[in-house]
Chain A
Amino acid sequence: DQQVKQNSPSLSVQEGRISILNCDYTNSMFDYFLWYKKYPAEGPTFLISISSIKDKNEDGRFTVFLNKSAKHLSLHIVPSQPGDSAVYFCAASVNFGNEKLTFGTGTRLTIIP
């Protein structure tokens, strides 16, 4: 039962353009969502989060959008840089992140110079 889904295993984007990574969830109890970036042989690195009371959160080049009615969120990276090449995981939790995280399967983003 995959409660958090990232349907695109990979994505290639030209440097300087916008990268859009998508995530869908099925559990309506989720109220906090996070994006992590992961390089090989390292643990996930927290990028940005959003609670269900908001529909947008922005931090520098990263913006997360949440559409609760569609149970969909997306991460926008603009402009994309070569260092953004990594695997991106969407995660969700109940109770404002104070509980276990449920992760998607990840999207490998490749930025083409």
Chain B
Amino acid sequence: DTGVSQDPRHKITKRGQNVTFRCDPISEHNRLYWYRQTLGQGPEFLTYFQNEAQLEKSRLLSDRFSAERPKGSFSTLEIQRTEQGDSAMYLCASSPWGQYFGPGTRLTVT
């Protein structure tokens, strides 16, 4: 197991389209986190899962965002009706105690 993986690495979409990102955590890590990073800022927490249960959602996660982690393995993050302000790097991390990050998905909304 080589670490947390994310797919796709890059996504360009037009405003108003829906996008979905996938995260595969390190095997046996029961906690999975999503963060968003914009230029010049540190990553900002979006949501996290303990196994398949979504335990917390940030107020940054508007109604257009939804995340799932069926069966407590991989997770998906969907953004509906994308806006230009959604352009960012979306990072996934998994953890037994501290957090190991994937390479991120860079989203560009045109």
* Interface residues, chain A, with chain B CB atoms under 8 Å away: 4, 34, 36, 41-46, 49, 89, 91, 96-98, 100-106
The residue among A43, A46, A98 with the most chain B CB atoms within 10 A of its own CB is A43
A-B contact count (CB 8 A): 57
Cβ contact within 8 Å between A44 and B97: no
B31 at the interface (CB under 8 A from A): yes
Cβ contact within 8 Å between A43 and B42: no
A13–chain B nearest beta-carbon distance, Å: 21
Contact of B99 among A41, A46, A105 (CB under 8 A): A46
Cβ contact within 8 Å between A42 and B31: no
The residue among A44, A89, A102, A104 with the most chain B CB atoms within 10 A of its own CB is A44
Cβ contact within 8 Å between A100 and B42: no
Instruction: Provide the residues of chain A in CB contact with B91, threshold 8 Å.
Output: 43-44
Cβ contact within 8 Å between B45 and A101: yes
Cβ contact within 8 Å between A103 and B44: yes
Residue interface bits B70-81, CB-to-A below 8 A is 1, else 0: 000000000000
The 9 closest A-B pairs by CB, nearest first: A103-B42, A43-B101, A100-B45, A97-B98, A44-B101, A43-B103, A43-B104, A103-B43, A43-B102
Cβ contact within 8 Å between B31 and A44: no
Q: For chain B residues 66-110, which have a beta carbon within 8 Å of chain A?
A: 91, 93, 95, 97-104, 106
B28 at the interface (CB under 8 A from A): no
Contact of B98 among A46, A89, A105 (CB under 8 A): A46
Contact of A98 among B31, B102, B104 (CB under 8 A): B31
| Cα distance, A42 to B93, chains bound together (Å) | 13
B99–chain A nearest beta-carbon distance, Å: 6
